[in-house]
Amino acid sequence: MSHNSGNNQIIIEGINIDGQKFRPSDWVERISSALASFGPDHKLRYSEHVQPCIINGARCLIVARGLSLNDPEAFNFILQFARKNRLRIQEKHLIKEWGYDFPDDVDNDALQANARS
């Protein structure tokens, strides 16, 4: 999964809206491993819909729209986890486009634009 897939994914950063790194630092691996499965070679395979990555030195979780379609319960869990822990979400506006009610208590897209300035 590339992190340039247009309107098909959001990225949850391991940084909260105050700019602090989120702890525990292995949260990305915990969530992505919970949705992973073992392949025929007995190696862990991440879901095509939820994958860990590092962007600009921060641990992030790439969540594809397919998760909202195939496992809405897991998708909701991840969204609530991000919201409860006040994590930055890139492309947050897509969540509503995908048909989910997600409060706009923090405009993460604007925070990202300001951080790049």
Residue ranges covered by each domain of the chain: 6-103
What are the average pLDDT values for consecutive 10-residue runs of the chain, which has 117 residues? 61 92 94 95 94 91 91 93 92 71 55 43
Pairing type for strands 50-55 and 58-64 reads: antiparallel
Do 83 and 10 contact (CB within 8 A), yes or no?
no
Q: What pLDDT is recorded for position 104?
A: 59
Write out the two tokens for 106.
Answer: 């923090």
pTM listed for this prediction? 0.76
Which residue bears the tokens 């897509």?
A: 94
The fold adopted by the segment(s) 6-103 is: Alpha-Beta Plaits (3.30.70)
Write out the two tokens for 69.
Answer: 């379609």
